[in-house]
Structure 1
Amino acid sequence: MIAARDLPLAPLDAAARFTAHILPSIRNDLASDCIILFDPADRPHAIWRRAMVEELAREAAPARINAIVGTAEDAIAATVEYLAKAPGVTGQIFELST
């Protein structure tokens, strides 16, 4: 799992920080499955996040890239458990209740 937490509130700034600081570490290990953890945010963030996750999933195939949005540890753990049992799921963002 890669934590993409505490990103800036402005969507462009958040996308820029993700691209500069988090994306390189994900790309360095595209042979392994990855789950990106995001904090909850409004719709403009969902748009850039979806583009990042979908494109990373295409680049990483057959490894899987998914994301979880939320902070509730029990819900995150349940989603991680689900993904471990769902080998065909990739390029998805799971929005959890917080």
Structure 2
Amino acid sequence: MSAHRLEARGLPEAPLDAAAAFSTRLVAEARALAPGDLVILFDHADHTHDSWRRAAVEELAREGVPGRVNAVVGPAGEGLEQAATYLERAPGVTGQIFSLA
């Protein structure tokens, strides 16, 4: 069974604003999908977004047990597709964020 995918794209540039937008617009949807496996897809952002993204993914993973929640950061394309597919098929991986160069 493949994981659900949640597009978390087009969030504001400022980290605090992005975290607020994610929480307001996407957390309820993520929670609804997380009883199963979930891969969240984020746009590239600088390091100032790392903390809130890590906190969100880790907490959603804890809440979603026995399902798994992970994320991929990067542009749409073959690399993102490969990373998301890997996470969908990796039963021991949860609460992780994979960043594509």
Query: Normalised by the shorter chain, which TM-score bucket?
Result: over 0.9
CA–CA distance in structure 1, aligned partners of residues 77 and 27 of structure 2:
23
Provide the residue aligned with 1:41 in structure 2: 45
Equivalent position amino acid for 2:63 in 1? E
Residue 85, structure 1, aligned to residue 89, structure 2: yes
List per-residue Cα deviations over 1:53-91 (Å, max 9, x = no partner): 001101101100000000041001111221232101000
Alignment of 1:13-92 (within 5 A): 13-92=17-96
Give SS of 2:63's match.
helix
For structure 1, the 5+ residue unaligned runs are none
Divergent runs of 4+, >4 A: none
State the TM-score, normalized to the length of structure 1: 0.94
Q: CA RMSD in A?
A: 1.0
For structure 2, the 5+ residue unaligned runs are none
CA–CA distance in structure 1, aligned partners of residues 96 and 7 of structure 2:
16
